Structure 1
Amino acid sequence: MATASCWFLVFVWVVWWLPPALAGPEEQQGEGCSSLAKTCGNLTISRPFWIASREAGRSCGPLDFQVGCSNNNISFLRSSGFTGSTGFAIMNISYDDRNLRVVDVHKEEAFNVTNGTCNFPSWNTSSKLAVPFKVNPANLNIILYKCTKRVALVEVRCANASNVFVRTGVRFDETGNYGGYALEGCDAIVVPVMGSANASNFEQLISDGFLLTWQPPTPVAGSGGSKKTTRIFIILGSLGGLAALAAFVTYLLHQRKRKRAVASDELMRSGSSMTSYSKDLELGGSPHIFTFEELEVATDGFSASRELGDGGFGTVYKGKLKDGRVVAVKRLYKNNYRRVEQFLNEVDILSRLLHQNLVILYGCTSRMSRDLLLVYEFIANGTVADHLHGSRSAERGLTWPLRLNIAIETAEALAYLHAVEIIHRDVKTTNILLDNSFHVKVADFGLSRLFPLEVTHVSTVPQGTPGYVDPVYHQCYKLTDKSDVYSFGVVLVELISSKPAVDMSRSHSEINLANMALNRIQNHEVVQLVDLELGYDTDPETKRTIDRVAEVAFQCLQMERDLRPSIKEVVEILTCVRDGDCRAKSMKKKASQKEDAHLLTEGLQFSPDSVIHRFHSQSTNHSVASNASGL
């Protein structure tokens, strides 16, 4: 232990003394100022930045680089003239690149769904900046709209506010000209963000902040040769300290390996407490614990050439284990503040489940690992989205019989989840994997929730993917198994149309595929919705089955949850449609039990009229068109 303490003292000396020693002459501070780096919370503040409150009234650096440190140890940039709740909180400083990541605190607090707030800000983020700082061109933007009338051209609606909308993925324009994104009747505010253009959680984008670039301060006169000589000696001493630091790091790695077994047990205990399921669903046993190092080797150091794609919570890589198994390794994003919760949630759920149409979890790293990694069976044939409208759509590999089987197998997987009281909460074609025989493997359980059968709903902040989220869940924060049914209805429409769930290039009222489908099916215009290459207008049997699947989708997409069938009923209907052996007796029995479930039989002609009539008769003010999907 005494040896470890000595190494630790060397480590502290290097961290505190090396940055000032390496600083250039332009960053020399005033008389009486300390040359030591300062800390505010977890952030190290060194030149050119300085904390005014720590210098006893002295000016110890350029005024533009003053940093405030709040009582709760959060650093604020002071040069903008905005501080505290209206300023910029500093999350990270990269001195080599002259970049810093900041969060616009005012906008972060304005859009806090957890606290139920959704307030429109008063100014663009760029208006709060001045030289030497400017927005880094590497950022994207989101645009916030406050509208005085109903607007169709939106990506997501903000929380429970009916007149505040958000558009993500807007490219940065150094000229500041965003006139092309103006909407009539709406005020607009531009907010830079670092996230992906396809990111759906705009609140998280704002919370993650954006990059600022700064210009170096003007050199300070008076840096003589004696100071340069002193700096040389300090640098030489620091190099010796670096060698000691390397030895210290080696010691830490050795200690860490000894604790891996304990960390693995800790993962299992933490997973149990954080997910807190009310009954034991243990079917698959505890997952295998992999080390970070063996998965790093399996993926060639997480090489970009091994990358399979990006998900909502992490990047997926193809890997090969020492035993020869080919696997998919998901590496959770480090800047996702909920990543531990999602990691433990997925481990706990998948280790309890066993179904032929659910992806198999081989194992994971310890919660104490350098990175959070999940290891799945590798499904070689991509996702349904890839084949319908993605990178493999040109192959035209999904014939209509295959698509109908995909729909049935996906519904069977969801029915299994609902039977054991689990809601998937992120049903979409990018989460439906296909093996080489085009059999389904439903994946991505990071958002899944327990849904006890004795309750009517679970109250939770809406999460999911735009275009698939149940509008009732988005508006009322009430999650039920019918929320998965709505999302599955969107998947059905994708299967018959080969169109994506959200497409900003479509007309305003049809950006969301659910809106388009409800409109086309209600008006008996399925031919304008369907992918004609499936044989809809050339093969009567194909037309018959597509019409019936379209009607099932129509029922699943109803705004009124009671009008939607259960996923178990959907399985029965789709199987009946595929096999063509529906019996009239069985149909009459089910129709008497639930008159609004307009089931399909061989003897029935396609028409959504019965559903539409009942739907309108319950409320003259109710519209069959679904609302814009939320977060």
Structure 2
Amino acid sequence: MKMQFFHLPLLLLLFFSATSRSQPVYPRYANCAPSPYVCGDATFTIGYPFRVDGRHDYCGYPGFYLSCSSSNDTNSLAVAISNKNFHVTSIDYDNRLLYLVDTVFAGQSCPQPFVNTTIDASLYRVSDRCTNLTLFINCTASSSPIPALYDVLCLLSSTGQHSYYRLDNGTMDDVLGRCSSTVVVPMAQDAATRMVNGEMGFGAALQEGFSVNWLPGTGWCSNCVGSGGWCGYNSSAPHAHTCFCPNGTFINSCYPTARSGKKNSGGWKIILGVLVSVVGFLLVCAFCLLCFRRRSKQRLHSSALLGLPKSSGGTPSSNKKDVVGSMSFHCHTHLFSYEELEEATMGFERSQEIGDGGYGSVYKGVLRDGRVVAVKRLYETHDKGVEQFVNEVEILSRVRHPNLVTLYGCTSPKSPRLLLVYELVPNGTLADHLHDPLRSRSLPISLRLSLAIDAASALFYLHSVDIIHRDVKTHNILVDQNYNAKVADFGLSRLSLVNATHVSTAPQGTPGYLDPEYHRFYQLTDKSDVYSYGVVLMELLSSRPAVDVERPPDEVSLAMMAINKIQKGELDFVDPAISVDGVVVARVAELAFRCLQMDREMRPSMKEVLEELREASRMLSSSSAAEEEGESKARDDVRLLKDSTPFSPSSVIETWMSTSTTLSASQ
């Protein structure tokens, strides 16, 4: 029996070798080969997923029909997306990019978009080479009230109403007054940068267009082409990965015979094939056995990392299913498939990477429902990565707060890689805004106080539900497009027991932010977060990093430098770009000083910190209102002075003489 079983693969190989015959080229393979297409003065290569007149329907994907349209005596390639027409300027098959220009903008020196540019999320997504331009049209505000908001001079209306743009999403009616409309359109990042820098006009930048990635064929089409076939579409099985090969239609890729047009004839070829097959079969068996043993070890290792019992009467895979089930039940979080997130990030392409940390990389992705997300892929070789994965899911699945980053879900521990899916907060970190000289100058004290209040509110909420963040720093505070702060990164967070004074654990965190008492006594408390937050406050006041080895030795640590200066009554570490009443700055500096006390009992709670910051914000608002009232009164006095009858020469002399006398007396 064993000998007969061993001969079975050889008999099958002999059978297929003897019956193989050359075949004529498959018609659909020939019809769907990429071919040149001339439209006007331009020549385009047309291949899957695109289709033009003269090519069969099965060569392209529905919704990707291109036409050569005529406008103003010129021909140009056009495509309709979401009932809107665009000129096609280029097609990049290597990067799956389609370059587009809105047909409405053609031939206009100052085009005005009237509607939002909407992209069908099932077919395309705006590429990461673009940014969103938000246009506020015909607003009552006569000047830009905040940084990064630019006047569109060519759209100034006859009634004196202004139009503004900014390079992100969001409404701003509260600061712009009433606007007739708000429109969001994508724009090439390079053109946007040149427009902001004054190197390109508004109209020219819009006419540069934008680019989108097409989605059909993601992942599998390159396999099909690489195997010698052409990608296609099957209306009977629209979701199938149809690959047209020289010898027929296959799924994903062509069979090995697709590239060969020769017959396997000749006895010596059969004998050689049999010998090669025998050796190959033995090598495959040995390789499979080796892989099986190695995978078994990896499963046991992964089970141990995830806290699975090493021996429970069941298989490791069944234990993993138990963990997945309990996690989704207790944590109330959505479980994504690895394949869906791989598709969302375009196969985790490097161009999609937006961040890199100690335990994993973060990628920008677009889910099938159109949500733009951040996907964290943990390093599989780092044991701490698994611990952080479970920790973040446990923490974030049980908390909800507007100033905490939202966890949309994760993959199950049995997936090929551990992935976490968050809301995408696109405006960088607080550290980015504070430590970039150009950005920090555009952060007034009112905005810094607002960001500080947001972060303090999030930490107060965490402490109220017995969660210690453990890694509070400006790099873990994200800033959204409306300049709201969101606290992120809960990989080191810990749940504290009710009525417990502290959690005993080895110190972890970031140098410059780490609580000295935690580092010394291995006792983690909510006051450890307060110390770290004190460093964040000092960064907000000074625009300096928490640690800088280029500073003098006694000023390397921002916390130590600030404490020493405050004790001496010096506030020269405050960013000179902050122009405000010194009382407010001194109040915030004093609060930060209290947070940084070496004795944790001397530090305020996050509730006290939040209340103190809100009071400082109220003081700032009252001061600003008083200044505006004073300026208004001064303007009224000037107006009255202009409307009054002129002084007589004698009265003018008397006034000057009186002033001079008064000044002399004071001297």
Higher relative contact order (CA 8 A, sep 6+): 1
Query: TM-score with structure 2 length normalisation?
Result: 0.46
